[in-house]
Amino acid sequence: MNFDYDLFVIGGGSGGVRAARIAASQHGARVGLAEESRMGGTCVIRGCVPKKLMVFASSAPALAEEARGYGWLSADAGPFSWTDFHNKLTDDLDRLERAYTSGLDKAGVDIHLQRARLSDAHTIELADGSRKTAKHILIAAGGRPQRPDIPGAELGMISDDVFLMKELPRRALLIGGGFIACEFACILNGMGVDTALAYRGNAVLRGFDLETRELMTRQLQQNGIDLRLGLSPARLERADDRIRASFDDGSHGDFDAVIFATGRAPYTGDLGLEETGVRLKPNGAIEVDDWSQTAVPSIFAVGDVTSRVNLTPVAIREGHSFADTVFGGIPRKMDHRLVAHAVYTRPHELGSIGPTEEEARAQGPIDVYATTFRPMRSFFAGSDAHVMMKLIVCAETQKVLACHIFGPEAGEMIQLAAIPITMGATKADFDATIAVHPTMAEEMVTMREPTRRFHEATTDAAAR
């Protein structure tokens, strides 16, 4: 059968663009790609990239305060113009979108800026009514923020909306205690917004190492964020020109903006999956095997739409592996077991790779090497903020299983720590490494004695 394309990709985000570009430019495939919104997808347009620039923007007052601690008597960040920042941000995102488009153009990929859905295992129906056939189809449609099912939920914003705000709210409430809630709480707080965060648990960032969760929870409070723990939202309603948020304990508060950061869901609705026999998991994500292949042999899926590890570099690697395997004859699988990640809060970030201490204890005997200290830079300027670094080592093999860092630039540090850990380095390899002095990261190679030893596997439910 003659197909219009060797590959048709649904979704122009990180995973879809990488797969399309590699299949076309490196493996000579004829590729079409449909994107219903903007090229670049969540990471570039309404996620990692604009978020990180907002983190930088929001850091200025703390930097000015630190400068005063170093003798710059009149250092002051001064007033912040959201409008100026936002105009520049918009221009930069336009530039990135153009770069994504031109990268695909150069690779010879046909871009269809419209919605696409499947009509059978080899056919795509575009919103303009035209149909395209392809030998292989890749679904890389991503995920969407979800609102909780409470009355008035439509009055709340989602993370997508934050990047489109025309002005900053005076008083904002974030609901949730995950990546987005913690990051946006620090951003808004840094930009001078009176910020509250309501989370239903006792310590934010469920799923992370407990010690780092406790440090992050304390940091949010020390930043002056009004942290309300153990609270679930019950309803939102209008109260004059504000939004009243009521909680399950009967309390309420009025805010200019309420932002839901209550997780994301795979964007699988109305893609025609049912017609083709693609199977979904209970959470709506597309079920795939280790090769990102669905139950229909010609259809593959990568990225958040498969809800494996929902991070940009993972989607990119999945997309690249798919293209190499199917079009390059180079079988490559994505290994999801060791994926480093970071939460970009201020002043300290959280960087993490491998199991939490609680998970590792349950898996087998471990030694934990941990250190806390006040880094010289902020300590000199008068801050009491503590850094925490932790290595989790398998007691039997001495392999370093995990590293958790709570500190300035932890995202940068964990990226480098991830290399030896991915290579299977032992604690002796870390010890053999000469320190770079004076740095924070040198602590990683100078922790000599275990802080704790757990030599009997245990599941400490209370610790989780």
Give yes or no for a contact between 271 and 117, defined as CB atoms under 8 angstroms apart: yes
176/408 with CB nearer ligand NDP: 176
- Closest approach of Cβ 179 to ligand NDP, in Å? 4
| Distance from C-alpha of 14 to C-alpha of 33, rounded to nearest angstrom | 13
* Number of residue whose CB is nearest ligand NDP: 178
- Residues 64 to 123: which contact ligand NDP by CB under 6 A? none
Instruction: Report how far residue 150's alpha carbon sits from residue 262's, in angstroms, rounded to the nearest whole number.
Output: 12
Our finding on whether 341 is near ligand NDP (CB under 6 A) is yes
Query: Which CB atom, from 266 or from 355, has the smaller least distance to ligand NDP?
Result: 266
Would you say 124 or 231 has its CB closer to ligand NDP? 231
Question: Residue 36 Cβ, how far from ligand NDP at the closest point, in Å?
Answer: 20
DSSP class of 26: I
- We find the least distance from the C-beta atom of residue 149 to ligand NDP, in angstroms, to be 7
Q: Which of 136, 386, 404, 437 is catalytic?
A: 437
Counting residues that bind ligand NDP (by CB under 6 A) gives 25
Residues 6+ away with beta carbon under 8 Å from 457: 361, 362, 363, 364, 365
Angle (CA) 402-403-407 rounded to 5° is 160
Which of 232, 298, 371, 426: binder of ligand NDP (CB under 6 A)? 232
35 vs 183, beta carbon nearer ligand NDP: 183
C-beta neighbour count of 302 within 10 angstroms? 34
Query: Does residue number 59 form part of the binding site for ligand NDP (CB under 6 A)?
Result: no
> Kind of pairing, strands 242-247 and 252-255?
antiparallel
Six token digits for residue 209: 């190492």
Distance CA 11, CA 18 (A): 11
Under 8 Å between Cβ of 141 and 10: yes
Query: Is residue 142 a contact residue for ligand NDP (CB under 6 A)?
Result: no
Show the DSSP H helices in 81-170 as ranges.
82-107, 159-162
Closest CB 462 distance from ligand NDP, rounded Å: 17
Neighbours of 3 (CB within 10 A): 16
Measure the CA angle with vertex 313, ends 146 and 142; round to 5°: 30
185 binds ligand NDP (CB under 6 A): no
Class of residue 289 by CB neighbours under 10 A (exposed 0-12, middle 13-18, buried 19+): exposed
| Span of 107-115, 250-258, 280-288, 340-348 interacting with ligand NDP by CB under 6 A | 340-348
With respect to ligand NDP, which residue has the nearer C-beta, 201 or 420? 201
Q: Please report which helix (H) or strand (E) contains residue 318, including its range.
A: helix 312-327
Question: Of 116-124, 131-139, 255-263, 277-285, which part binds ligand NDP (CB under 6 A)?
Answer: 255-263
Q: Is 348 a catalytic residue?
A: no
Sole binder of ligand NDP in the list 55, 168, 343, 421 (CB under 6 A): 343
Buried b vs exposed e over 203-219: b needs ≥16 C-beta within 10 Å? bbbeebbbbbbbbbbeb
Pick one of 261, 305, 323, 414: the residue that binds ligand NDP (CB under 6 A): 261
Tell me 436's DSSP state. Answer: P
Per CB under 6 A, does 311 bind ligand NDP? yes
At which residue do the structure tokens 């800026």 appear? Answer: 113
156 in contact with ligand NDP (CB under 6 A) = no
| Segment lying near ligand NDP (by CB under 6 A), choices 11-19, 172-180, 215-223, 329-337 | 172-180
Contact with ligand NDP (CB under 6 A) among 186, 215, 286, 342: 342
Residues with catalytic roles: 437
Question: Which residues are near ligand NDP by CB under 6 A?
Answer: 148, 175-181, 183, 199-201, 206, 232-233, 261-264, 310-311, 341-344
